[in-house]
């Protein structure tokens, strides 16, 4: 009897071991999936700035890099950021340096930032570059935020306008036009309004399909080098938005160039890094050609002189640098200048877009009112004459 009990106990223990093994396999799979998803997510700008600034402060207080990362990891709430810090600490404890850790997450840290940290690691002044990186990331994020906030209001107004027009075309206009029995004698404006209304009522799905098709097609075309070049060239030539895009690219080009040169990275390598930082394919190809010219000992200002992508002021400032060897101070002023110009353009655009949207909405409402009221007025005239 005791043997039977022992056998049962062994069977139960084996079942438990199998269950624990399956649970651990399942838990490991889920952990790997979570790790894969988290590792592909980019850090928020706020998290990135905080990371650079706090790390600089702790290193400046003679706290080791691994210990600093450990402190940040313990107080962090975001799972994405916490996993990243844990990975950093593991790599640092195994003998890797911070630039190697940053290079593991290209979605969160730019190539220029990795190179700058790698350069300053050799001088034992990592705290200096981390604090400067925090300031520069904040400046770049500030410009992006201003553009988004400037476009948010007009986009919201346009969304409301489209929604109101759609509701009128689908629900209001058909009921108003039902009062006219003989639609062949209606004015052209009313017939046009009827055609638009019929399209919204009966073929609304075509609008959605066209929108999805255009979005997917443009997204696929932008991934090909030829179409990306054409699309980016169109953006640069677009009124108002082209000027904003060009000044933003020039500002980023100037600031990153100054960072890299200040970090004792060669001009050729700096241009190669910048070509991967700018988002515009037209400027990227031009910067790569500029790098080839510099490798042939052609001066930068001579290579970009008379080029419409680079204004005369930037050419002159770079020429001054090549004569005085003070690019990091000279070209930063160029970046500040273009950022200020972007601020002014955005402020002006906000003032102009609002009345433009109001006028557009007024014209649409006026056309609908005329199209509806014109046959009603004709009908009232006919009744009065009769």
pLDDT value at position 118?
81
pLDDT value at position 15?
44
Instruction: Give the HSE-up count for residue 281: Cα atoms under 13 Å, Cβ half-sphere.
Output: 14
Cα–Cα distances in angstroms (integers) from residue 143 to residues 51, 137, 244, 338, 352, in the given order: 20, 10, 11, 11, 20
Give 325's pLDDT tier (boundaries 50, 70, 90).
low
Q: Are 378 and 179 in contact (CB under 8 A)?
A: no
Least confidently predicted of 10-24, 208-222, 366-380: 10-24
Query: The tokens of 211 are what?
Result: 């929108």
How many whole angstroms separate alpha carbon 137 and alpha carbon 28?
36
How many whole angstroms separate alpha carbon 19 and alpha carbon 363?
71
Question: What value does the mean pLDDT take over residues 126-151?
Answer: 74
Q: Are 275 and 289 in contact (CB under 8 A)?
A: no
How many whole angstroms separate alpha carbon 248 and alpha carbon 256?
12
Q: Are 88 and 69 in contact (CB under 8 A)?
A: yes
Q: Are both 45-139 and 141-386 of the same fold?
A: yes
Residue at token pair 């600093």? 68
Specify burial of residue 243 (Cβ count, 10 A radius: 0-12, 13-18, 19+): middle
Least confidently predicted of 101-115, 150-164, 208-222, 279-293: 150-164
The helix/strand/coil state of 74 is helix
pLDDT value at position 20?
47
Query: The tokens of 379 are what?
Result: 């009908």
How do the domains of the chain map onto residue ranges? Answer: 45-139, 141-386
Give 381's pLDDT tier (boundaries 50, 70, 90).
low
Measured distance between the N- and C-terminal CA atoms of the chain, rounded to whole angstroms: 115
Give 9's pLDDT tier (boundaries 50, 70, 90).
very low
Residue burial 314-340, b: 16+ Cβ < 10 Å; e: rest: bbebbbebeeeeebeebbbebbebbbe
Average pLDDT of every residue of the chain: 76
Task: Please give the angle made by the CA atoms of 114, 136 and 270, to the nearest 5 degrees.
Answer: 45
How many whole angstroms separate alpha carbon 173 and alpha carbon 382?
23
Superfamily (CATH) of domain 45-139: Type II secretion system (T2SS), domain F (1.20.81.30)
**141-386: which CATH number, 3.10.105.10, 3.30.1360.170, 1.20.81.30, 3.30.470.10?**
1.20.81.30
How many whole angstroms separate alpha carbon 309 and alpha carbon 304?
8
Closest CA to 240 of 154, 157, 141: 154
Q: Are 354 and 154 in contact (CB under 8 A)?
A: yes
Per-residue model confidence as pLDDT tens digits over 141-157: 776 776 676 667 777 77
Per-residue model confidence as pLDDT tens digits over 267-324: 888 888 888 778 788 998 999 999 998 888 888 888 888 888 888 888 888 887 777 7
pLDDT value at position 327?
61
- Centroid of chain to Cα 120: 28
């Amino acid at each position: 009897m005791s043997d039977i009990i022992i056998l049962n106990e062994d069977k139960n223990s084996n079942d438990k071991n199998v269950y624990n093994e399956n649970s651990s396999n399942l838990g490991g799979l889920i952990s790997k999936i979570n790790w894969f998803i988290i590792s592909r997510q980019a850090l928020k700008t706020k998290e990135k700035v905080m990371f650079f600034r706090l790390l600089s402060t702790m290193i400046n207080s003679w706290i080791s890099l691994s210990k600093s990362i450990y402190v940040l990891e313990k107080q962090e709430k975001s799972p994405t950021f916490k996993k990243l810090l844990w990975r950093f600490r593991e790599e640092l404890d195994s003998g890797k340096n911070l630039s190697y850790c940053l290079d593991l997450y290209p979605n969160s840290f730019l190539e220029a930032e990795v190179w700058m940290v790698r350069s300053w690691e050799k001088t034992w002044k990592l705290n200096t570059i981390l604090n400067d990186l925090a300031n520069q990331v904040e400046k770049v994020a500030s410009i992006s935020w201003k553009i988004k906030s400037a476009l948010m209001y007009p986009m919201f107004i346009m969304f409301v306008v489209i929604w109101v027009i759609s509701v009128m075309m689908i629900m209001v206009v058909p009921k108003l036009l039902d009062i006219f029995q003989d639609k062949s004698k209606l004015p052209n404006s009313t017939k046009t309004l009827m055609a638009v209304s019929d399209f919204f009522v009966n073929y609304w799905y075509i609008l959605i399909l066209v929108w999805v098709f255009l979005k997917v097609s443009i997204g696929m075309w932008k991934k090909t080098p030829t179409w990306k070049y054409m699309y980016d060239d169109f953006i640069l030539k677009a009124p108002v938005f082209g000027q904003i895009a060009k000044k933003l690219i020039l500002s980023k080009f100037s600031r990153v160039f100054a960072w890299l040169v200040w970090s004792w990275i060669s001009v050729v390598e700096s241009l190669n890094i910048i070509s991967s930082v700018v988002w515009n394919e037209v400027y990227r190809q031009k910067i790569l050609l500029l790098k080839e010219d510099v490798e042939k000992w052609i001066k930068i200002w001579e290579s970009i002189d008379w080029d419409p992508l680079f204004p005369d002021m930037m050419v002159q400032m770079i020429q001054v640098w090549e004569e005085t060897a003070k690019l990091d101070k000279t070209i930063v002023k160029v970046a500040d200048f273009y950022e200020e110009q972007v601020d002014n353009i955005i402020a002006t655009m906000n003032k102009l877009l609002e009345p433009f949207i109001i006028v557009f909405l007024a014209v649409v409402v006026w056309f609908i009112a005329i199209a509806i009221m014109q046959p009603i007025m004709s009908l009232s005239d006919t009744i009065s004459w009769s």
